A and B are shown apart, each in its own frame.
Chain A
Amino acid sequence: MEAKEVFERFSERESFLVIGRSIRRFDALDKALGRAKFTADYVERDALVVKVVRSSLPHALIKSINIDEALKIPGVVAVLTARDIPGENQIGYALPDQPLLNDVKVHYVGDPIALVCAENEEAAFKGVEAVEVEYEELQAVYTIDEALSEDAPRIHGGEDNIAVTTRVRKGDIEEGFSKAEAIVEDIYETPYQEHMYIEPEAAYAIPEGHNKVTVIGTMQSPFLVREKIAGILGWSLNQVRVIQALTGGAFGGKDDMGPLVCAKAALAAVKLRRPAALIFDRDESAAYSVKRYPARIRYRSGADAEGRMTAAEVDITVDCGAYANRAPFWLWRMTAHAAGPYEVEAVHVDGKAVYTNKVFGGSFRGFGDVAMHFAVESQMDMLAEKLGLDPLEFRLKNVLRPGSRTTTNQLLDHSVGMEECLRGVAEASDWWNRRRRVKRTEGKLRGLGVACAHHGISTSRGAPDWSAASLILNEDGTFTYRTGICELGQGSQFGHAKIVAEILGAPLESIRVEGPDTDSTPNARPTHGSRGLMLGGSAAADAALRLRSRMVKVAAEMLGCDEGDVELRDGRAYDRRRPENSVSFRELAREMYIRGVSPAAYGFYAPPRRYFDPETGLGVAYPVYTFAATVAEVEVDPETGEVKVVEVWPSMDVGRAIDPLLIEGQIHGAIAQGLGFALTENLIVEEGRVLNPNFKDYVIPSSMDMPRVSNVIIVEKPYRHSAFGAKGVGEPAIISIVSAIANAVYHATGIRFRTLPITAERLYRALRGEKP
């Protein structure tokens, strides 16, 4: 394909116009002015307020739902239950196990039962109180072991509480362990993590005419939201218009919550023929929205006398909570990354995801790779110690390199910068000297830890993946670019604009990005899996290349030169041989319209196919991997058990840096979230009830908790099949920081935590001899 050749030419450019430079993102201006609109900012005052009636029991049959008293409350307009759903009452993501509104059975505390729609918030709250639900309580299961026990109640029927299983069989595991000089084995547990985006879930639905609805919401997958709403309403896709408003942080959570919240608002608006808004309160968001899936990993691994990994045997159990949601994908990601970013000859992995009667898990930055690498990186440290090797040295012997094979035996032939990342942080942190030097300072304990990460880009399980975008050259020489990739704070759309600007030689200001509106933007598929820039941006590049070839053709005729001599730069087309001979994009645009040359282009991109053998799990799990390494220095106060992260040295192989400032922003944010996950974020769930659904008791890092963050080391190993070689950067940094901190705590104290978070209280007790 011709476009591909042009594209390769661009990728080899020696100096770029805008790619690789830190440029102030244009969408930030409205945000700094207070003019950026988030979902709640669109809601008109006379809109109906929707509140959710939720289950008060973790597991029960619903005997009856009585709404009579609620309807008597002044201001309550209606109470909607399952029977008001005109389409299919089903909103499960991977499996059809999740009703939008429950009328048969509830599966966790907080399970939705009814929607109270009222003129104002006060009436809505009173209405929620007044709905009477009669239950027949069932035995509930709260832990993995309870769920797997013989006599456990079956939460979703079936033979057991296992939602899904996975496996990988690579190499001869017996032989692998027989070659090992050192073998270590342990069990690791990671807890829930709550997203705590500062903007809570929100949706605003407006009925249009008699058979259409527009929904504005905070989300990551507008087209998934549309599909789910259409299913609930029993409508076709083109009757539902979904607009993604600017989203105040998402981190995966709003990928899952978007459909759930938007479908409820849409149902209310359509049934009552009035605009309706559903906005979560903070405690509702923190208690009942999806969380990072808790997981338990049994890990046994070995290395030979030379320090080479020989075998890894891994058993994974994911705690789904009440619904499977993304668990099949989460578990598959863990499974496919089980050996870590290391070459291991023999790898056996068995995974399962089990139901419990707790709030269900879902997408969260890093997906299952955070938990998986916590296990892997702890094991690596322990093996190094057993072999008497420096942990960083030991990793260097084993990291994936070009030509290596992954957990699923996928051959990595290029774009593998793991070693460079690791060497980069070693040098920046002065690892070998610092590691020796750090010790007691004024009664405090200091330690230095390292960890690596790899993260496959795009969706899991070989699900087909692709992306699309559109680009129009307007009559005045400006551009309108449309993408279904969401702005969540990460700046992906701005990255797309830079790609378009680079290819077209257009000033960035002349490109206007229109965000997701399912009625006018092409389907770019979800903004998750760190795919927004790599896949969405590659579709942008495809559109720009198509438009470019037409622009060049017309420009050549206008300039009277060869197409090969046309150069597009600064919003003009030049004849390279006679640069004084040029036309502006405005003139060029007008000429294209007059000549009937299409000024619009549709861009499409699909990464190379992935596939795997369901029996062995072997195959191409992801098109490409992003790599990261982190060194962290911590200081432990033995008097309080408190861990302070003093400094962090991050690095990442991003393929190609489209915008270093955006990358830095992603890494800083991931460090903060990882630090919270490692040390302070502790969701307390007792008998299925979340006891600390607020910022005071569920502690996310504040400005006081952040360490010094050293300059981000950007390694560039371009990926052959994406725009300019870029790979996703949103997630990998949270993966390595968590383990780097845990390893540093070990270095400081000699105590290895196999369960997170390492709270001050736990460390305090461990320092006094209790089992960590």
Chain B
Amino acid sequence: MKIRFKLNGREIEAEVEPNTLLLNLLREHLHLTGAKYGCGIGECGACTVLLDGEPILSCLTLAVEVDGREITTIEGLARDGELHPLQRAFLEEGAVQCGFCTPGMILTAKALLDENPNPSEEEIREYLKGNLCRCTGYVNIVKAVKRAAEEMAR
């Protein structure tokens, strides 16, 4: 069946099966490989994308569900060659190691900052708890989110 949705600011159309997962649609059909498979059952957050600005797990979402809505993936975050403040902060703070969790982590953090531009450390930790990272111990990730919040407030 045919679906239409906005992907990273662009209207697109795609032919999908009723059981096609959003993660597979993005990765295999649309060649956007920023969202990752880490578990396929909603436990790691590596496949996170934004649906109308809200973080969702694309491994648990059917492609048909996004019909008529708006999806943002990590590839759509930097605009006109300008990094998003979160991307910049992740680089500056050393919050990126292997980078496999990074796309999901940054998108979840973006949803947080859109909701709450000035989160406390506790709030950041709470919001990110569904995004697992095995490399960084989250220390610099939390720092990066704080830094981005500060930068965006300026």
A407 to B139: give the CA distance in the assembly, Å. 35
A489-B99 in contact (CB<8A): yes
Given A34-B73, A661-B94, is A703 in contact with B125 using a C-beta cutoff of 8 Å?
A: yes
Residues 3-27 of chain B: 1 if any A CB is under 8 Å from the residue's CB, otherwise 0?
0000000000000000000000001
Return chain B residues, CB-CB under 8 Å to A251: 134
From 85 to 139 in chain B, residues with beta carbon under 8 angstroms from any chain A beta carbon are 87, 90-92, 94, 96-103, 106, 124-126, 128-139
* B34-42, B50-58, B63-71 - interface stretch: B34-42
Distance in Å: Cβ of B93 to nearest Cβ of chain A: 8
B99-A248 in contact (CB<8A): yes
Partner of A35, one of B34, B35, B44: B34
A490 to B128: give the CA distance in the assembly, Å. 22
Distance in Å: Cβ of B119 to nearest Cβ of chain A: 12
B96-A28 in contact (CB<8A): yes
Cβ of B61 within 8 Å of any chain A Cβ, yes or no, is no
Cβ of B28 within 8 Å of any chain A Cβ, yes or no, is yes
Return chain B residues, CB-CB under 8 Å to A247: 98
Return chain B residues, CB-CB under 8 Å to A35: 34, 75
Partner of B137, one of A199, A279, A661, A706: A706
Give the contact-size bracket for chain A: 35 or more
Residues 637-672 of chain A: 1 if any B CB is under 8 Å from the residue's CB, otherwise 0?
000000000000000000000000110110011111
Distance in Å: Cβ of B18 to nearest Cβ of chain A: 14
B41-A669 in contact (CB<8A): no
Cβ of A249 within 8 Å of any chain B Cβ, yes or no, is yes
Given A40-B37, A668-B137, A694-B43, is A490 in contact with B74 using a C-beta cutoff of 8 Å?
A: no
Cβ of A37 within 8 Å of any chain B Cβ, yes or no, is yes
Return chain B residues, CB-CB under 8 Å to A30: 99
A325 to B139: give the CA distance in the assembly, Å. 34
Given A198-B133, A249-B134, A251-B134, is A694 in contact with B99 using a C-beta cutoff of 8 Å?
A: no
A34-B134 in contact (CB<8A): no
Cβ of B141 within 8 Å of any chain A Cβ, yes or no, is yes
Given A198-B36, A709-B137, is A662 in contact with B94 using a C-beta cutoff of 8 Å?
A: yes
A694-B129 in contact (CB<8A): no
Distance in Å: Cβ of B131 to nearest Cβ of chain A: 8
A197 to B37: give the CA distance in the assembly, Å. 12
Distance in Å: Cβ of A289 to nearest Cβ of chain B: 14
A28-B99 in contact (CB<8A): yes
A489-B135 in contact (CB<8A): yes
A701 to B138: give the CA distance in the assembly, Å. 9
A668-B100 in contact (CB<8A): no
Return chain A residues, CB-CB under 8 Å to B136: 665, 668-669, 672
Cβ of A135 within 8 Å of any chain B Cβ, yes or no, is no
Distance in Å: Cβ of B38 to nearest Cβ of chain A: 5
Cβ of A36 within 8 Å of any chain B Cβ, yes or no, is yes
Cβ of B152 within 8 Å of any chain A Cβ, yes or no, is no
Distance in Å: Cβ of A274 to nearest Cβ of chain B: 17
Which of A196, A249, A490, A700 neighbours the largest number of chain B CB atoms within 10 Å of its CB?
A: A249
A41 to B74: give the CA distance in the assembly, Å. 14
Distance in Å: Cβ of A530 to nearest Cβ of chain B: 15
Given A33-B87, A665-B140, A668-B139, is A702 in contact with B132 using a C-beta cutoff of 8 Å?
A: yes
Given A28-B91, A702-B132, is A198 in contact with B46 using a C-beta cutoff of 8 Å?
A: yes
Cβ of A93 within 8 Å of any chain B Cβ, yes or no, is no
Cβ of B149 within 8 Å of any chain A Cβ, yes or no, is no
A695-B43 in contact (CB<8A): yes
Smallest Cβ-Cβ distance to B102: which chain A residue:
A31
Given A28-B90, A37-B33, A198-B132, is A703 in contact with B141 using a C-beta cutoff of 8 Å?
A: yes
Given A673-B134, A706-B139, is A34 in contact with B34 using a C-beta cutoff of 8 Å?
A: yes
Given A33-B78, A33-B87, A668-B140, is A491 in contact with B97 using a C-beta cutoff of 8 Å?
A: yes
Partner of A703, one of B27, B97, B128: B128
Partner of A488, one of B28, B34, B43, B98: B98
Distance in Å: Cβ of A17 to nearest Cβ of chain B: 20
A38 to B43: give the CA distance in the assembly, Å. 20
Return chain A residues, CB-CB under 8 Å to B40: 281-282
Cβ of B60 within 8 Å of any chain A Cβ, yes or no, is no
Return chain B residues, CB-CB under 8 Å to A489: 97-100, 135
Which of A32, A248, A673 neighbours the largest number of chain B CB atoms within 10 Å of its CB?
A: A32
Return chain A residues, CB-CB under 8 Å to B106: 32
A33 to B84: give the CA distance in the assembly, Å. 9
A33-B138 in contact (CB<8A): no
Return chain A residues, CB-CB under 8 Å to B77: 33-34
Cβ of A236 within 8 Å of any chain B Cβ, yes or no, is no
Cβ of A24 within 8 Å of any chain B Cβ, yes or no, is yes
Given A32-B87, A249-B100, is A199 in contact with B94 using a C-beta cutoff of 8 Å?
A: no
Return chain B residues, CB-CB under 8 Å to A594: none
Distance in Å: Cβ of A466 to nearest Cβ of chain B: 26
A702 to B131: give the CA distance in the assembly, Å. 8
B134-A694 in contact (CB<8A): no
Distance in Å: Cβ of B104 to nearest Cβ of chain A: 9
Given A198-B132, A704-B126, is A31 in contact with B99 using a C-beta cutoff of 8 Å?
A: yes
Return chain B residues, CB-CB under 8 Å to A29: 91
Partner of B39, one of A34, A40, A695: A695
Smallest Cβ-Cβ distance to B88: which chain A residue:
A32
From 703 to 754 in chain A, residues with beta carbon under 8 angstroms from any chain B beta carbon are 703-704, 706, 709
Distance in Å: Cβ of B74 to nearest Cβ of chain A: 3
B94-A197 in contact (CB<8A): no
Smallest Cβ-Cβ distance to B97: which chain A residue:
A489
Return chain B residues, CB-CB under 8 Å to A616: none
Distance in Å: Cβ of B63 to nearest Cβ of chain A: 15
Return chain A residues, CB-CB under 8 Å to B135: 249, 489, 665, 669
Return chain B residues, CB-CB under 8 Å to A488: 98
Which of B37, B91, B97, B137 neighbours the largest number of chain A CB atoms within 10 Å of its CB?
A: B137
Smallest Cβ-Cβ distance to B99: which chain A residue:
A31
Distance in Å: Cβ of A179 to nearest Cβ of chain B: 42
A670 to B44: give the CA distance in the assembly, Å. 19
Partner of B38, one of A45, A199, A671, A709: A199
A33 to B43: give the CA distance in the assembly, Å. 23
Smallest Cβ-Cβ distance to B101: which chain A residue:
A198
Which of B73, B75, B90, B139 neighbours the largest number of chain A CB atoms within 10 Å of its CB?
A: B139
In the A-B complex, the 6 residue pairs with the smallest Cβ-Cβ separation, listed nearest first, are A34-B34, A489-B98, A31-B99, A248-B100, A34-B74, A489-B97
Name 14 A/B residue pairs within 8 A (Cβ), A-sorted. Answer: A24-B94, A28-B90, A34-B33, A34-B35, A38-B36, A40-B37, A248-B36, A248-B99, A251-B134, A282-B40, A668-B139, A694-B39, A695-B44, A706-B137
Where the two chains meet, the residues of B that have a C-beta atom closer than 8 Å to any C-beta of A are: 27-28, 32-41, 43-44, 46, 73-75, 77-78, 83, 87, 90-92, 94, 96-103, 106, 124-126, 128-142
Where the two chains meet, the residues of A that have a C-beta atom closer than 8 Å to any C-beta of B are: 22, 24-25, 28-38, 40-41, 45, 195-200, 246-251, 279, 281-282, 488-491, 661-662, 664-665, 668-673, 694-696, 700-704, 706, 709
Known A28-B90, A665-B135; further 12 A-B contacts with Cβ < 8 A: A25-B94, A34-B103, A40-B33, A40-B36, A249-B98, A249-B100, A489-B97, A662-B94, A665-B94, A702-B130, A702-B132, A703-B124
